[in-house]
Amino acid sequence: MTATKPGVRPVTPHFSSGPCAKRPGWNLQALTDAALGRSHRAKIGKAKLKRAIDLTREVLEVPADYRIGIVPASDTGAVEMAMWSMLGARPVTMLTWESFGEGWVTDVEKQLKLKDVTVLKAPYGEIPDLKKVDFNTDVVFTWNGTTSGVRVPNGDWIAADRKGLTICDATSAAFAQKLDWDKLDVVTFSWQKALGGEAAHGMLILSPRAVERLETYKPAWPLPKIFRMTKGGKINEGIFVGETINTPSMLCVEDYLDTLQWAKSIGGLKALIARADANTKVLADWAAKTPWVDFLAVSADIRSNTSVCLKVVDPAVTSLSSDAQAAFAKQLASLVEKEEAGLDIGHYRDAPPGLRIWCGATVEKADVEALTPWLDWAFAEAKAALAKAA
């Protein structure tokens, strides 16, 4: 016997954790003012890039003395620029509890080949003991673990009188979680995450302490052109007023501007956070009354409100081999996707089997509410097929 399909589908079934859903009401007409066929160094191009920086500062509530730059290669490029340009001056502490944090550890140990490195690691669903962090060292961490659904609870654990720098990959936290700017020296993110922008552009935000490091420390290794942020021993101020190191897409810039304007129009950061929290609460309320599913995050205080990761806890599934559990999770996602009720909701390839549902501010609460009955339907279908095959 097959389960009855729900009668309502999400209006916008886009729940990918990157690139993420476009803002409500988005269409191509929003991009008609793009400076296409023009140089990004022309007056119009520079003005739009500067406007993107200024709106980022306004919406994210970035302090006036922090510099904001648009850089190549998405969030990854921004993190790499920071690590290759600033690390090596002090010992380093790396925090990791999911795949992207693990990637930064690999870069520091295998590529930069730094020797004085401490790695504080936790498994998926958990977070390292933040009390063990030595802030005499430089500290590299993700604010929100995109592939584990685990975030730091706040910035209270970061020492105000730290000697080292804090380098924070905030790509799935920015515009959805309150970042403690006083505790952060380098912050990175990409447009295609929490605001659903287009890919390939990264944002790099530097505190005065980070600028001081750039101007007083020269790494022992050569820096590629796209990583260089200083000229003659001084910060290249042009980067932080829209004079990008390489050629940006003015179409993508226009799309980012459009979504920033939308964010401002609905009430700025406070409203964006509230939307993400409301979306996540829908899943939390559903999971609380649904015996077959639970959050991957072990406690609510470290649970992401953007990249929400869920695991199947039904005994009929947890008793299976790890490969069979992964196959079951993929079947769940596939069943929902075939019905166009939820797209791209499968777990990240390196993460434990389950579902990953983006709940950032560009997603509508009503769409999350419409998704959950489809998840229940898909589970019933997949479990019935499992029993039949037994």
Instruction: Identify the residue whose tokens are 């490091």.
Output: 213
Same domain? 305 vs 369: yes
What is the per-residue pLDDT for 314? Answer: 98
Number of domains in the chain: 2
What is the per-residue pLDDT for 390? Answer: 79
To the question of pTM greater than 0.95 for the whole model, the response is yes
Share of the chain above pLDDT 90, in %: 98
- pLDDT tens-digit profile of 237-291? 999 999 999 999 999 999 999 999 999 999 999 999 999 999 999 999 999 999 9
Instruction: Tell me which residue range forms the domain holding 286.
Output: 267-389
Instruction: Read off the tokens for 22.
Output: 């476009």
Could you give phi then psi for residue 318, rounded to 5 degrees?
Answer: -65, -20
Same domain? 259 vs 273: no
Determine the Cα–Cα distance for residues 69 and 71; give it in Å rounded to an integer: 6
Which of 203, 238, 264 represents a domain boundary (last residue)? 264
- pLDDT tens-digit profile of 37-66? 999 999 999 999 999 999 999 999 999 999
Q: What is the mean pLDDT of the chain?
A: 97
Same domain? 81 vs 223: yes
Instruction: Read off the tokens for 121.
Output: 């690691």
Local structure of 322: helix, strand or coil: helix
Which of 264, 289, 324 represents a domain boundary (last residue)? 264
Same domain? 102 vs 223: yes
- pLDDT tens-digit profile of 326-355? 999 999 999 999 999 999 999 999 999 999
- pLDDT tens-digit profile of 151-190? 999 999 999 999 999 999 999 999 999 999 999 999 999 9
pLDDT higher than 60, residue 1: no
pLDDT higher than 80, residue 85: yes
CB 297 within 8 A of CB 303: yes
Same domain? 215 vs 101: yes
pLDDT higher than 90, residue 137: yes
C-alpha 389: how far from chain center = 39
State the CATH number of the domain containing residue 247: 3.40.640.10
Instruction: Read off the tokens for 352.
Output: 């434990």
Place 217 in a pLDDT band, splitting at 50, 70 and 90.
very high
What is the per-residue pLDDT for 3? Answer: 81
pLDDT higher than 80, residue 321: yes
Same domain? 323 vs 193: no
Determine the Cα–Cα distance for residues 379 and 383; give it in Å rounded to an integer: 6
pLDDT higher than 90, residue 72: yes
